[in-house]
Amino acid sequence: MSDKPVIFVLNGPNLNLLGLREPEIYGSDTLDDIAGKLEDRAQELGVDVEVRQSNHEGHLIDWIHEAQGDNAKAILLNAAGFTHTSVALHDAIKAVSVPVIEVHLSNPHAREAFRHKSYVGEAAKGTISGFGAFSYLLALDAAMQL
């Protein structure tokens, strides 16, 4: 393991389908494309990124806890559909001292009304959304300021 600080980048359900799923909303970049851009930017910033994706809520919660144990500098979390439903993710974020930045490719407030509520956002340090894949890079830069 590197001596560099680490930032966890956690991705929720259906984000494994980026590039295929509704590109008019989510863009044409795959999650691997986004991970590559993050790794390049992280190298410039002198940090490591640990990029993970799961369709299972419990994995995301376990990884939030793991970030705490690994003394991560921050967590970038795109909880996807769990954003609007998961009190458990809200509670996991509140339970750790690692700052969490909520990330979204699209702007949830410009979409269906059910996407306007964010349990993740209520617990996160801040939210970056609506800039496509660039949202992740903006969030990484923000994490470096924490």
Question: Annotated catalytic residue: which of 90, 104, 119, 136?
Answer: 104
136 part of the active site: no
Question: Annotated catalytic residue: which of 26, 90, 119, 136?
Answer: 26
104 part of the active site: yes
Are the beta carbons of 6 and 47 closer than 8 angstroms?
Answer: yes
Task: Write the DSSP symbol of residue 85.
Answer: T
Name the residue type at position 130: G
How many other C-beta atoms lie within 10 A of the C-beta of residue 42? 23
Task: Write the DSSP symbol of residue 146.
Answer: -
CA 102 to chain CA centroid, nearest Å: 6
Q: Which residue numbers are catalytic?
A: 26, 104
